[in-house]
């Protein structure tokens, strides 16, 4: 018999018969997840799109890697915190649009293991979640990459695929030299690493949907990627935001209460943030984060839509949880233990 992932232990019999159905039932009942947006952009504290918004050159942005100490990123603390808050799963940004990776990948040296601290944050969190029976979801920026030479470019995929550098970024492939397939191979190789090096994964959460939607999205060969993911770990649930193909295992629209596809049998998760308008740590938003009552209202709204809530907090530059969000989410957790989640 196949070993049952710890987060699916209450669905062991169904898992042996149909791993993805077991995961789907678990996800419907989980209802509440914690999103962590953490990366080099956290050091600047000016939004996770700071490289794009400020047109920071690729080489200049890359220097941040040498300052990324992560000294207070504590996976055990984060997992215990989630349990205390009655949160059932954690989603972490394995690679955001800036292409910096929080895991040990051989596909690029632009990763946290190649920083002075030499740490694989995905590996640390995977272990912590497995011990505590939490589902681990892995955010991955699929449609948008601001570093890879052959990632989608503005010429074919619209103005928000890459920063609009003037003069043009010399490391990018242009014209006939540009080959999207090279990028897609890179993506699949990294997702292969994520699904073979870290034990059972609850979900792959793809981002950057606006880019493939701006042109012929079939060029991204997403169904092939989905099938490959399921061949590696059949229980893995796949999302591509509000749905790119309609064959995703669940939809995860940002802030929206309705879905692009009328498929009520497909689970849904609403993703939103504690700090208004920002997923990564943004210093100027201090004092403006959601209160416990606002979080409770958001949980209620999600449940009225029959959706899970994926609630984001952006760790501080050193990796510690935002001190404004931590007591709020603990208060919400205490209320859930006392009254249960909104129905």
Question: How is the chain split into domains, by residue range?
Answer: 34-339
Residue pair 29/267 in contact (Cβ under 8 Å)? The answer is no
Q: Which two tokens stand for residue 173?
A: 């492939």
Q: Of 203, 259, 280, give the one whose Cα is nearest residue 23.
A: 203
pLDDT one-digit tens code per residue, 212-250: 999 999 999 999 999 999 999 999 999 999 999 999 999
Residue pair 143/212 in contact (Cβ under 8 Å)? The answer is yes
What integer pLDDT is reported at residue 306 of this predicted model? 87
What integer pLDDT is reported at residue 94 of this predicted model? 99
- The pLDDT of 62-75, averaged and rounded, is 98
Report, at the CATH architecture level, how domain 34-339 is classified: Alpha-Beta Barrel (3.20)
Percent of the chain with pLDDT over 90: 92
Strands of 237-240's sheet, edge to edge? 237-240, 203-207, 135-141, 89-95, 32-36, 308-313, 269-273
Angle at 100 between CA 95 and CA 104, to 5 degrees: 80
The CB density around residue 3, as the number of other CB atoms within 10 Å, is 9
CA dihedral of residues 15, 18, 20, 24 (deg, nearest 10) = -70
> Token pair 């995929």 is at which residue?
157
Angle at 298 between CA 26 and CA 252, to 5 degrees: 50
Own/partner contacts of 173-176, CB < 8 Å, gap of 24 or more, are 173/149
Residue pair 251/237 in contact (Cβ under 8 Å)? The answer is no
- The pLDDT of 89-118, averaged and rounded, is 98
CA dihedral of residues 225, 226, 230, 236 (deg, nearest 10) = 120
What integer pLDDT is reported at residue 304 of this predicted model? 86
Mean model confidence pLDDT for the chain: 95
């Amino acid at each position: 018999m196949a070993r049952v992932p710890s987060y699916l232990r209450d669905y062991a019999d169904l898992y042996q018969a149909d791993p993805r159905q077991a995961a789907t039932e678990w996800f419907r009942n989980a209802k509440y997840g914690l999103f962590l947006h953490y990366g080099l952009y956290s050091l600047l504290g000016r939004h996770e799109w700071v490289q794009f918004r400020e047109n920071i050159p690729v080489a200049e942005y890359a220097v941040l890697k040498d300052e990324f100490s992560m000294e207070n990123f504590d996976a055990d603390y984060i997992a215990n915190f989630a349990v205390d808050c009655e949160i059932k799963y954690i989603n972490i940004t394995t690679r955001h649009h800036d292409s910096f990776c929080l895991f040990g990948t051989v596909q690029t040296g632009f990763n946290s293991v190649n920083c002075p601290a030499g740490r694989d944050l995905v590996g640390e969190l995977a272990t912590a979640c497995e011990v505590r029976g939490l589902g681990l979801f892995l955010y991955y920026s699929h449609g948008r990459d601001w570093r890879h030479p052959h990632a989608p470019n503005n010429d074919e995929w619209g103005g928000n695929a890459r920063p609009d550098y003037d003069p043009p970024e010399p490391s990018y492939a242009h014209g006939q030299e540009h080959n999207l397939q090279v990028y897609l191979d890179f993506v699949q190789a990294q997702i292969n690493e994520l699904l073979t090096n870290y034990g059972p994964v609850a979900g792959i959460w793809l981002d950057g949907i606006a880019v493939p939607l701006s042109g012929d999205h079939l060029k991204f060969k997403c169904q092939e990627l989905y099938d490959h993911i399921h061949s590696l770990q059949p229980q893995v649930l796949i999302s591509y935001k509000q749905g790119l193909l309609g064959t995703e295992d669940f939809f995860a629209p940002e802030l929206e209460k309705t879905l692009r596809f009328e498929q009520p049998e497909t689970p849904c998760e609403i993703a939103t943030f504690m700090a208004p308008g920002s997923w990564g740590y943004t210093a100027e938003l201090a004092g403006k984060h959601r209160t416990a009552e606002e979080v409770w209202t958001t949980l209620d709204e999600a449940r009225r839509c029959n959706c899970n809530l994926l609630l984001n907090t952006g760790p501080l530059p050193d990796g510690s949880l935002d001190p404004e969000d931590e007591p709020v989410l603990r208060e919400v957790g205490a209320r859930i233990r006392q009254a249960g989640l909104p129905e």
